[in-house]
Amino acid sequence: MSALLGVRPSAVNAQGVDPLPCPSHTPTMRVALAQINTTVGDFEGNRARIEAAYRRARSAGADLVMTPELALAGYPPRDLLERRGFAEACGSALRALAAVTTDGGGLLVGVVAPNDNKVGRPVFNSAALLADGVVTDIVHKSLLPTYDVFDEARYFEAGNAEQLRPLAFRGRSLGVTLCEDLWNDPGFWDARLYALDPARKLAEAGADVLLNLSASPFHLGKGHLRRRMLSALAKSHGLPVLQCNLVGGNDDLVFDGGSLALGSDGSLQALGTAFTEDLVLVDLDSPKPTLEIPSPPPHAEQAARAVVLGIRDYFEKCGFQRAVIGLSGGIDSAVTAALAARALGSENVTGITMPSRYSSTGSVEDSRSLASLLGIPFHVIPVGPAHDAYHSMLSHLWASADLEDTSMAGLTDQNIQARIRGNILMAWSNRTGALVLSTGNKSELAVGYCTLYGDMAGGLAAISDLPKTLVYEVARWLNQSAETIPEATLTKPPSAELAPDQLDTDSLPPYEQLDPILHGYLEEGWDAEAIIKNTGADPATVHRILHMVDRNEFKRRQAAPGLRVTSKAFGQGRRYPVAARFNS
């Protein structure tokens, strides 16, 4: 480890930490929480971002600067960690980064550290303390989550419990932890996942402050939970707690920042801005007036801000500049377009409406009105000619297969229309380089009310974790300051308009009834009996909906990546088998 990371040997004991006891007098220290937005694998870019935050913090008088978890490597690196060169590149970047600390300050940065032992995973999830131009100490993450979107035990070796000793820095005794290490307080959680309690061990070993480098992904209400949990932890140990949390979008995950400082009595001393980069300065011995722990914003606002950030970073980090969206005149495509325009700029979002023989005049006009309100380029491409051509081609196919009915009625005809639209959007994408944003919501994806290679086509499923009722709430939130979503789009009954006089309620319960069932099944983990008891829903409806969710797993496996907004999203956080026979 020392050779690769450049750790100063004289500062490290056999466990890789400095066990010096906390002195009786603790000098004043100003700590900066560098809440930055990093990109996975962009070691040079991340290093430059960390350096810029460090210099800014030092100019403001900070003695120690903290970054989020794995800030130098980006989070989550996933299977890139299995590449031998990944940890080596992180080590090189770390040694270069250390040079910034020759000005007398300290930098606590999240890194991938190699495991030089013959046993265990090849790397650690670590925090490196840089000072005087070198790496002085390394602390490894002890608790590796494997639930929901996390799979850290797949890649990382857990830190040795004996290593949990405070680090001595500028006369202070720093209890350094990484994210999950603090999510195990027996005084807060009814049930704990781990026997080890790193916070308690550090407190008992003489830490005078707990520092936490975090990459805690967003879901609705997560920021408020984080603040309450860490407040209880600070009060339990009688120690200040400082957490520096990641901000930004990486693939399907959005990180909301909200870095914070809590006094030893659990009081909130400082709070970083949500959903944007921030630099939070904390004077450990001159606490600011206590802040009231804020109530979480409405779910609609949280969801909108998360999706905007997720879209913006997905495009920037993947190298896309423009988006194209199929506008149906309905609420889902309208909200997707509005959020995309906020994320990318109106000039970079194109709307295409593709009416069929079943589309109402209002749908085209509502799409046109939306485009005008958003200021986005707009095109109308009727799908009738292609639809007629499919009818002609496929009627010959049905006849040659000796099918009695050679018509295109029913589901086949509906899916053909959706796939024609998907082809048009993908053609625009190929021609212009714009990324297609699919517009399906969580309710539709859950029950399979969507068409493979049709309305599911795209490179990012922006609102795929927003239930339909939440999509309406987001639309109303967007309309608070000025009309963004046409009123007609908000008030008309939802319809795919793929058949005469079609409404969503022809196939599904009203969304006000459907979404509580889906919430109970997907997010709460309830079985049918519990859903019926807790929601009062009709038993036959509950069993039908759960069956629809289970049998449509194959569709969701082929969906574009979706931005996580709820506590249990499809994709990385919900891994159900396609071939299975188990009735919930």
Catalytic positions: 69, 141, 179
Sequence-ordered alpha helix ranges (H) in 249-383: 299-318, 331-344, 361-374
Q: Find tokens 């049709």 and name the residue.
A: 454
d(CA 383, CA 326): 12
| 3 state SS of 95 | helix
CA dihedral 453, 454, 458, 460 (to 10 degrees): -100
* CA distances (Å), origin 142, targets 18, 105, 120, 217: 17, 27, 14, 19
d(CA 178, CA 156): 13
At 195, the amino acid letter reads A
* CA distances (Å), origin 434, targets 147, 380, 490: 35, 17, 27
Backbone angles phi, psi at 3, to 5 degrees: -65, -45
Q: What angle do helix axes 411-432 and 384-400 make, rounded to 10 degrees?
A: 130
Cβ atoms within 10 Å, residue 415: 17
d(CA 310, CA 62): 31
Long-range contacts at 95-101 (CB < 8 A, ≥ 24 apart): 95/5, 95/6, 95/135, 96/47, 97/47, 97/50, 97/51, 97/72, 97/130, 98/6, 98/130, 98/133, 98/134, 98/135, 99/133, 100/51, 100/54, 100/55, 100/130, 101/54, 101/130, 101/131, 101/132, 101/133
- How far the first Cα of the chain sits from its last, in Å, is 49
d(CA 290, CA 219): 26
Q: Find tokens 């506008």 and name the residue.
A: 327
Contact 108, 67 (CB under 8 A): yes
d(CA 319, CA 331): 28
**DSSP character for 257?**
B
Q: Is 291 left (phi over 0), alpha (psi -120 to 50) or beta?
A: beta
Q: What is the CA radius of gyration of the chain?
A: 27
List, as one string, the DSSP characters of 413-460: HHHHHHHHHHHHHHHHHHHH-PEEEE---HHHHHHT-S-TTTTT-SSE
At 494, the amino acid letter reads P
Burial class (CB in 10 A: 0-12, 13-18, 19+), 256: buried
